[in-house]
Amino acid sequence: MTLTVSGAGDENSSSQPVDVGIVTANNTATNSSTQTTQTSTTGAATSDSTITVTTTTSSTTPPTSSESSGPLPTVTITPPPPVVLHASIARAAAAKVDVKGRLTVAYTGETVGCPKGARTCVVAATLVHVASSGQAAAAARRSVTLSAERLVVDGGHSVAINLDLNANGVALLRSAGHLHVDLEIVASVTGGAAITRVSSIELTAPPKR
């Protein structure tokens, strides 16, 4: 800062600069800085003296948002897993056997449901009786298939598993009066995964008519 003092009342007086230093304010920034020169005039202690003050300052321009911000973050969107449709198998009633015309039908009491959204479901049902031979039950066991059928169920519908007994099944049931059999049901949405259920049911021969 440089002060120049001049006296107006005395003719012999001369202006004498007084060096009081230079004040500089610096602000550090990432962008270019601009300089501002400011001049102010103030009165001294006496009315005939003039003080001229010249200051030099530097100002900064803040960075723009495009300069300060980095690259945009990468967002990864994971799609949800595909919906897998499955058929359902449930016990609806107790098993029984009845005669319909010339057929002997085993009402297993099981139902298979095909879910909505599926075109069709395929169902395979099998009735098997495992018999022992004499006293050597553990050594010799044989299985007899009483019925085996394949069904197709439309999507959004269910079907009761009612199986027609074959000739071997009818003869064995009439001879024994009642049988413990294994019912295996395999149901799958067309083109999809299959589910399997094996249950034990008891069949009783219907009364003779």
Is the pLDDT score of 106 beyond 70? yes
55 or 116: which leads in pLDDT: 116
Residue 36 or residue 69, greater confidence: 69
- Cβ(53)–Cβ(42) under 8 Å? yes
Least confident of 54-58, 109-113, 120-124, 203-207: 54-58
Q: Which residues contact 98 (CB under 8 A, 6 or more apart)?
A: 104, 105, 107, 206
Q: Where are the beta strands (DSSP E) in the chain?
A: 2-7, 16-19, 24-25, 33-43, 49-60, 88-91, 96-100, 103-113, 120-132, 141-154, 158-164, 178-189, 194-204
Q: Report the Cα 189 to chain-centroid distance in Å.
A: 23
Compute the distance between CA of residue 135 and CA of residue 166 in angstroms, rounded to an integer: 28
Quote the pLDDT of residue 82.
78
pLDDT at 38: 43
Q: Which of 102, 125, 122 is nearest to 185 (CA)?
A: 125
- Decide if pLDDT at 111 tops 90: yes
**All domains of the chain in start order, with CATH:** 2-62 (no CATH), 88-204 (2.60.40.1820)
